[in-house]
Amino acid sequence: MNDLANVLNPIETARGLPGRCYTERPAFEEERRELFGRGWFCAAFASDIAAPGDLMPVDAAGLALLLVRAEDGGVRCFHNVCRHRGVRLVEKPARGAKAVRCPYHSWTYDLEGQLRATPHIGGVDRHEAPGFRKSEHGLAPVRAGVWLDMVFVDPSGAAPALEDWLAPLLERWRHFPLGRYRPAEAEPIRFRLGANWKLAVENYCEAYHLPWIHPELNRISPLADHYPIVDAAFSGQGSHCYAARGELPAADDRPLAEYVALYPNLLLGAHMDHFFAMRLDPLAPDLTVEDARLWCLDDAAAAPAWAGARARLRARWEDVFREDIGIVERMQQGRGSPAFDGGCFSPVMDGPNHAFHRWAALRAGGADPA
């Protein structure tokens, strides 16, 4: 914790997180426990398990999870491990399953995680055993909730209710058409980033780099029109002048857009005509998978008449996201230098980034940021 203390200073004198937080395996595992394991994070997108009986194994923040679309249409999350001998239950997505069966001894669980069948547990053709209660050996649940199409999980089970945790962001975004966004008929945008996941967050939180990394985006949403956003669980930047609209239906004519990182691993972009979310999946200290999805308003999300506009929107954001890859990977390379001491912050341009560093430093020290 000693090398994290300077992160908590006022922005004018603060240092950033030290290089070890980006390069060393022990720091990476500590983050999985403290930054991901003690609160909500985004583990998947619910549209990937669209119908009852759909199953999807998810490896998120070091946890082997199983997402299930239950018969009532709700999303359930369990640890993806049989309660008998610890076998990983599901290896690949499945559609229309009626139950979850262990491939080892055929113990079978229903879509609510209850243990229903234990073949030969009491001997050949004896499927019950004295004193063994199936009700005590169901799949281990993980607290889960869905907002828009994003599946959030809380491994600790101790975080505030999902709606309470999201409330400050939803209040901030009350002027955006959150209730009208629908998952768009568009292919996901995915990248493998040769960098630590935090660098993707840091890059996203600031607009400072727009003129040099995103010259076309800077033309339609100039740096001078951006403003910082800082809250306890998210930070980022907004624009008073997002001028790349016109093809898709919009809630109103304001050229407003806001981009925030919802800690720890979700990058969100809200616009009057569309919305996007990028989920970060940390695989190693220097390897991150990025998975981004699009939403559009009402019928424009799926109607054939808007297919071309959706495709062009997707292509535009894919280009923007790709432009970040090289520079973020070069930041990762720099983190391994003995000359890197955490870096410093612009008091004017880097407030959202400093907020993320403070949040991460406090969590890594076992505190809950206020």
Q: DSSP secondary structure string, 87-143?
A: -B--SS-BSS-S-EE-TTT--EE-TTS-EEE-TTTTSTT----TT--GGGSPPPB-E
Distance from C-alpha of 362 to C-alpha of 121, rounded to nearest angstrom = 48
Partners of 193 in the beta sheet? 288
DSSP conformational letter for 179: G
What pLDDT score does 370 carry?
Answer: 58
Peptide bond into 160 cis (omega under 30): no
The superfamily in CATH containing domain 41-146 is: Rieske [2Fe-2S] iron-sulphur domain (2.102.10.10)
Distance from C-alpha of 124 to C-alpha of 240, rounded to nearest angstrom = 71
How many of the other CB atoms lie within 10 Å of CB of 2?
6
> Which residues of the chain does CATH 2.102.10.10 include?
41-146
Contact between 81 and 89 under an 8 Å Cβ cutoff? The reply is: yes
Q: HSE on the CB side for 43, CA within 13 Å?
A: 34
What pLDDT score does 367 carry?
Answer: 73
Backbone dihedral angles phi then psi of residue 9, each to the nearest 5 degrees: -65, 165
The CATH classification number of 173-340 equals 3.90.380.10
User: pTM (2 decimals)?
Assistant: 0.95
**Nearest-CA neighbor of 171 among 229, 245, 239, 243?**
229
Contact between 295 and 276 under an 8 Å Cβ cutoff? The reply is: yes
Cα separation values, 66 from 132, 141, 210, 292, 361, Å? 25, 9, 39, 20, 30
How many of the other CB atoms lie within 10 Å of CB of 268?
21
Amino acid (one-letter) located at 164: D
Contact between 258 and 232 under an 8 Å Cβ cutoff? The reply is: no
Q: What does the pLDDT profile of the chain (370 residues) look like in tens digits?
A: 578 999 999 999 999 999 999 999 999 999 999 999 999 999 999 999 999 999 999 998 889 999 999 999 999 999 999 999 999 999 999 999 999 999 999 999 999 999 999 999 999 999 999 999 999 999 999 999 999 999 999 999 999 999 999 999 999 999 999 999 999 999 999 999 999 999 999 999 999 999 999 999 999 899 999 999 999 999 999 999 987 666 999 999 899 999 999 999 999 999 999 999 999 999 999 999 999 999 999 999 999 999 999 999 999 999 999 999 999 999 999 999 999 999 999 999 999 999 999 999 999 886 777 5
Peptide bond into 264 cis (omega under 30): yes
What pLDDT score does 245 carry?
Answer: 65
Three-state SS at 330: helix
Partners of 287 in the beta sheet? 284
What pLDDT score does 287 carry?
Answer: 98
Distance from C-alpha of 301 to C-alpha of 280, rounded to nearest angstrom = 23
Helices first, then strands: H and E counts in the chain: 8, 17
Amino acid (one-letter) located at 13: T
Mutual angle of helices 197-205 and 307-335, in 10-degree steps? 120
> Which residues of the chain does CATH 3.90.380.10 include?
173-340
